[in-house]
Amino acid sequence: MRPIKTLPKGRDDLFIEPDRLTPQIQITLDHNRDRFAKHFNYADQYGAGDPNTYDFKGDYNCGRCNQEQNGDCLLIKKNKLNLKAGSCRQWESIREGDPEMFLQREGPVPGSYGVAKNGKGFGCHRCPYSKPAKNRDDRGRARWCGLGGFHQTPTACCELNGADTF
């Protein structure tokens, strides 16, 4: 059995940010971020995750998604999108010249479609698992993700973002 290396957790079951960053701790935190990028669609402006799933505004709503067209989603079957507060784990940034296709193959449950109760969308700056960090990492990320155990930026996001939804 391979040993599991992890950070300590608090009473809230969230990972506790280390008091100081050593090169070895930084490697561990980078691996944690990479895991979230791979398994939970985390992306940020420094290249973590798929750059096509990063929103420089940090809103991650249907109105800012490349799959939205005329109020409908090209990817998932959904009767009505909420362009301001709706989103799903398939969110994709708008890119000029990026052709899309009408698929509507995936239903709302696998797409994890939800509407944020805040009326604004999703993102680390609205996430209950995110807080100001004690330290900045080597890229200047100044927030701490207690759920994943790594430094993040306010405009990043993952599919486990913790936003209350309808």
> pLDDT 10s digit of each residue in the chain, 166 long?
877 778 999 999 999 999 999 999 999 999 999 999 999 999 999 999 999 999 999 999 999 999 999 998 988 887 789 999 999 988 999 887 777 777 776 655 555 788 999 999 999 999 999 999 999 999 999 999 999 999 999 999 999 988 889 8
Retrieve residue 120's tokens.
């604004």
What stretch of H or E contains 37? helix 23-40
With 0-12 CB in 10 A as exposed, 13-18 as middle and 19+ as buried, what is 139? Answer: middle
Output DSSP code: residue 132: E
